Structure 1
Amino acid sequence: MDLQLQERTALVTGASMGIGAGIARVLAREGVRVAITARRGELLEQLAKEIEDAGAVRPVIILGDITDATDVARIAAEATSALGQVDILVNAAGGSRPIKTDAPDSDWDEAFALNFTSARRLTQALLPAMRERRWGRVVNISGSMEPRSLNSATAAKAAMHTWAKGLACDVAPDGVTVNCIPPGRINSEQILNRLHPTEENRQAFIAKMIPIGYFGEPEDIANLVAFLASPLARYITGAVMPVDGGMRFSSN
């Protein structure tokens, strides 16, 4: 299927590893000119070389910290300058933040800065130009809404869902869609090194929670991102679409 993405442009956050890197690879493969941003420059360079070696256009690298409001404005400006315009924004940065019931405000503030506020700020920075052109795509990588323990990132992703649904209604008449993808267990740095660090733990979780029988790959998320970013998905907005192998406690 031709996704009609040739010559479109995209900014992908959290692109140094895992889901963000997978999204950058798939979009570039579909002919999108991509800007990638994260804090780890060496990993971004490796990804850019990999994409170029695969025959796609080398991504624009923008180093930055999306939890910093000044950096967000700079990243948006640099991406726009380098690409000419940003048609597609993929807010892929984020991270789990298990916390105690008496966690201080600073822990909550950090989790929201990374998992919600950064996406809101970057979207707000790029949205006026999308609306003026009457075409744009915002895809947010969010999270499960059925936590089994206290996690400040889960609360931040819940905020992302409701924000995105409301925003989608406001900008739909201007040709801009806004959607969220909550990933299940994906083979990424965070999942493999922190959440499920042993093969025994992974297999036990799969047996109990994942009907499809295995963890997903970043490209399983990226393929849906590419579709939602395409003109073919023009009638899908305000949606929350899990990609989780049927993980039974996923919920909208």
Structure 2
Amino acid sequence: MAGRVAGKVALVTGAGSSGGLGQATALRLAQEGAHVYLTDIDRGGAEARATEIGHGAIGLAHDATSEAGWQAVLARIEQDHGRLDILVNNAGVAILHLIEDMTLELFERQMAVNMTSGFLGMRLGVEAMRRAGNGGSIVNISSVGGIIGLARTHAYGASKAGLRVFGKGLAIETAADGIRVNSVHPGMIRTQMTAPLAAPDPVEQQRRVSAVVPLGRMGEPEDIANCVLFLASDEASYVTGAEFVVDGGMTAQ
């Protein structure tokens, strides 16, 4: 039985971290038949995650804030397969500070890794998809912080909100090309990025989570990967310019 993205060519950025959203997403796409490229500024991490995934996945070094870096990765993918069908802009960092501690250097770093990388991916990814002429799906990994305000997340939230709105405008521009652009907004997901928020006592940790998440648990990377899979597949052929919140009801309150 063919997979839901069988034969499609996918690029997932920021996929070098063990147990991260990028790895889970790349695995899910590979399980459903895609030719998957995992990229990360950490070459060793990207290659290790690709080996763990199997299914012919390939890990590449990639500074997502560099235009030349994007050009090199896309050239490799087009050399191997002649096209790009799925782009998941997942590369990101969370620099969380009170405003008095948020320096210009930190702010610019936050925007570069989260927003500039997404801009470069969307611009150059669209060019690659247009060259192939087969349409495509771009999924930007944003955050609930890109929709609502949270303490210490002003810069992080601004970068994630930028991905959300940039993608909406691009969806209108690329609709005629059959290129769909959507965003996914994770809530409290169990990854290395959210590990510092954990409490040492399991009971206290559960109390904290239940206080803000109606479903009463943290999400797993696979919860995000499943949403991305839907958006990447032909099942979502009539879905573009949309945002999908995967947060256990956190922002419904």
- TM-score normalised by L of structure 2: 0.90
Q: Which moved more, 1:121-130 or 1:74-83?
A: 74-83
Q: Tell me the equivalent position of 1:207.
A: 210
Using the alignment, how far apart are the partners of 1:130 and 1:157 within structure 2? 24
Q: Alpha-carbon deviation of 1:77? A: 2.0
- What is the Cα deviation at residue 232 of structure 1? 1.4
Provide, for residues 114-141 of structure 1, a one-character-per-residue CA deviation record: whole Å limited to 9, x for no partner.
1111011022112123234141100010
Distance in 2 of aligned mates of 1:186 and 1:61 = 24
For structure 1, which runs of at least 5 residues remain unmatched after alignment?
A: none
Residues 236 and 138 of structure 1: CA distance in aligned 2, closer, same or farther (over 3 Å): same
Q: Which residue of 2 aligns with 1:7?
A: 7
The answer to which of 202-211 and 115-124 deviates more is: 202-211
Structure-1 separation of matches of 2:204 and 2:172: 41
Partner SS, residue 182 of structure 1: strand
In the alignment, structure 1 residue 105 sits paired with structure 2 residue 104: yes
* 1:109 partner SS: helix
Q: Which residue of 1 is the match for residue 197 of structure 2?
A: 195
Contact preservation (8 Å) 1:9, 1:85: yes
Deviates more, 1:58-67 or 1:29-38: 58-67
Residue matched to 2:222: 219
Bigger relative CO (Cα 8 Å, ≥ 6 apart) = 1
TM-aligned CA distance change 1:100 to 1:69, over 3 Å: farther
Map 1:48-87; keep pairs closer than 5 Å.
48-52=50-54, 56=55, 58-87=56-85
What's the secondary structure of 2:193's corresponding residue? helix
Correspondence for 2:152: 150
Matched, 1:123 2:126: no
TM-score (structure 1 length as normaliser)? 0.90
2-side partners of 1:243 and 1:218: how far apart?
11
Match of 1:233 among 219, 231, 236: 236
CA distance in 2, matches of 1:172, 1:74: 26
Task: Kindly provide the CA deviation profile for residues 135-173 of structure 1, in whole angstroms up to 9, marking residues without a partner as x.
Answer: 110001001221221321111111111111111011111
Matched residue of 1:248: which SS?
helix
What is the alpha-carbon distance in structure 2 between the residues aligned to residue 201 and residue 180 of structure 1?
A: 32
Q: 1:154 to 1:40 in 2, by over 3 A?
A: same
After TM superposition, the structure 1 stretch with the greater mean CA deviation from structure 2, 94-103 or 169-178, is 94-103
Alignment of 1:154-193 (within 5 A): 154-192=157-195
In the aligned structure 2, how far is the partner of 1:9 from the partner of 1:96?
A: 28
Higher deviation after alignment, 30-39 or 63-72? 63-72
Q: Does the CA-based 8 Å contact 1:62-1:78 persist in structure 2?
A: no
Per-residue deviation, residues 35-93 of structure 1 (Å, max 9, x unmatched): 110122332233222222xxx2x212111221233222222222322333111000011
Q: What is the deviation of 1:7?
A: 0.6
C-alpha displacement of 1:2: 6.5
Partners of 2:188 and 2:81 in 1: CA distance: 33
AA at the equivalent of 2:98: K
Instruction: Output the amino acid matched with 2:58.
Output: V
Once the 2 structures are TM-superposed, how far is the Cα of residue 9 of structure 1 from its aligned partner?
A: 0.5
User: Partner amino acid for 1:121?
Assistant: L
Find 2:22's aligned residue among 8, 20, 45: 20
Q: Percent identity?
A: 35
| Aligned-residue RMSD, C-alpha | 1.9
